Amino acid sequence: MTEPSSPAAARLRQPRWLDGRLVVGVLLILTSIVVGANVVRAADKSVLVWKTARALPVGITLADDDVVAARVRLFGVDQARYLDATRGARPTGRLLSRDIGSGELLPAAALAAEGETTPTRLVTVPIARSHAVGGRLRRGDRVDVIATFRISAQVSQTRAILKAALIEEIVEEDEGFGGGDGYAVTLKVAPAQALLLASALQTAELDLLLVQAAGDSIGDVGDQPISGGPTRDGASDPSPTPAAR
């Protein structure tokens, strides 16, 4: 009897990088990635706008760190109400025409137009922290400016010369004013108030009172001058005037 012949052994072919099935698989994966990205992009209706980094009061001039870019979802007319952060520079130097809360989107209507602004003056008040709420004042706060004038060797007079003045800037000082205890507070005031404040800087001892948001909101500490004992310095007030409004 003869033995049956063995079938020829099948030889494995060496794999090729250009295998058709591999190419088709890679193309399918790439296509699905591109299609998925386009679907997500089409569904994303968010836009980049400016929002406030902190609560800002009416009348303050915007600084670089007052606003940050935020991506939010806006539709229709709402999108046109807010400042687009993808176009142009930050709204630095623009004046706020109303109060803006912390984290609030910055509407274009909250920026005062060039012709709508009223004349103001910036006056810097060097003052010790012990006379400025212990150094707790911050940019954007409102303060009453209290001046104590020396009338004679035994009599002084204290009165409010400014009410609810806006703090535009604070310069911290490690040394200098008050032997290291002081700093410089820049106030934004009306032109007539600037003259009164500049005079008081030379002739009186000043205190800054923080106007609390939960208080009277207008800093009404009264207009009646208070007479008392001598002040701690030799300042004089040759012609006392009523408190400025």
145 vs 88, which has greater pLDDT?
145
Question: pLDDT-based confidence at 71, cuts 50/70/90?
Answer: confident
Going by C-beta distance under 8 Å and a sequence separation of 6 or more, which residues neighbour residue 231?
148, 149, 150, 156, 204, 205
Cut 0.75: pTM above it: no
Report residue 242 as tokens: 């009523």
CB-hemisphere CA count at 13 Å for 173? 18
CATH assignment, 46-116? 3.90.1210.10
Identify residue 41 by its one-letter amino acid code: R
47 φ, ψ (degrees, to nearest 5): -130, 160
| pLDDT-derived band at 229, boundaries 50, 70, 90 | low
Domain boundaries of the chain, sorted by first residue: 46-116, 121-228
The pLDDT of residue 241: 45
Q: Which residues of 4-20 are buried (b: 16+ CB within 10 A; e: fewer)?
A: eeeeeeeeeeeeeeeee
Amino acid at 184: A
Residue 57 C-beta-side C-alpha neighbours within 13 Å = 17
The pLDDT of 158-183, averaged and rounded, is 78
Task: Give the model confidence (pLDDT) of 88-122 as tens digits.
Answer: 678 888 889 889 999 898 888 888 887 667 888 99
Residue 241, phi then psi, degrees to nearest 5? -125, 155
Burial 168-181 (b: 16+ CB within 10 A, else e): bbbeeeeeebeeeb
